[in-house]
Amino acid sequence: MNPLRPNATALTRPSDPEKQWVEFLRNEREYDQEAFNRVNYAKELLRMLKVRRRVAICVGTERLRFERGGLPGAPEQKPWAILSIPPDASRAHIALTILQLADRSSDPFLLDLMLRVRPA
């Protein structure tokens, strides 16, 4: 368990700088029946926050979650993330998850701003 992120479970630890690491974060499920394109909303939020990692977004079936990783000793290789969004995820839950992915969850004013975003 990561003491800085109590809800995170590391699948492998970066004890050796040459090994690839993966961090898996899980969120509780929050439902919303509002009709909007959740993938486009997530893309807009990632663009707004200027997240400096490659993020693959897919439609999930179970929970809103993400995995991220990279090679700690390889600056030429960008960190990556996979974001899985179920078709009934709420705007607030998507925004909170992206704040966690971007390591910006301690900036509370950002959530209000992100909830007002309406992708084109």
**83 in a domain, yes or no?**
yes
**3 in a domain, yes or no?**
no
Taking residues 58-74, what's their average pLDDT? Answer: 78
Question: What pTM was computed for the model?
Answer: 0.69
**1 in a domain, yes or no?**
no
- Close Cβ partners of 50 (under 8 Å, ≥ 6 residues apart): none
Cβ pair 25, 66 in contact under 8 A: yes
- pLDDT tens column, 2-61: 444 444 444 444 555 555 555 555 545 666 888 889 999 999 999 999 988 889 999 987
Taking residues 60-70, what's their average pLDDT? Answer: 81
- pLDDT tens column, 74-94: 666 778 889 999 998 989 889
Task: Give me the amino acid identity at 105.
Answer: S
| Cα 94 from chain centre | 8
- Close Cβ partners of 67 (under 8 Å, ≥ 6 residues apart): 22, 23, 24, 25, 81, 82
Domain boundaries, position 43: 8-115
Total count of domains within the chain: 1
Residue 61 vs residue 72, higher pLDDT: 61
For tokens 């600056």, name the residue: 75
| Cα 61 from chain centre | 16
Maximum distance among all alpha carbons in the chain? 45
**15 in a domain, yes or no?**
yes
Instruction: Measure the CA angle with vertex 119, ends 115 and 120; round to 5°.
Output: 150
**2 in a domain, yes or no?**
no
**95 in a domain, yes or no?**
yes
Provide, rounded to the nearest whole percent, the portion of the chain with pLDDT above 90: 17
**70 in a domain, yes or no?**
yes
Closest C-alpha to 42, from 62, 26, 58, 28: 58
Closest C-alpha to 89, from 25, 29, 7: 29
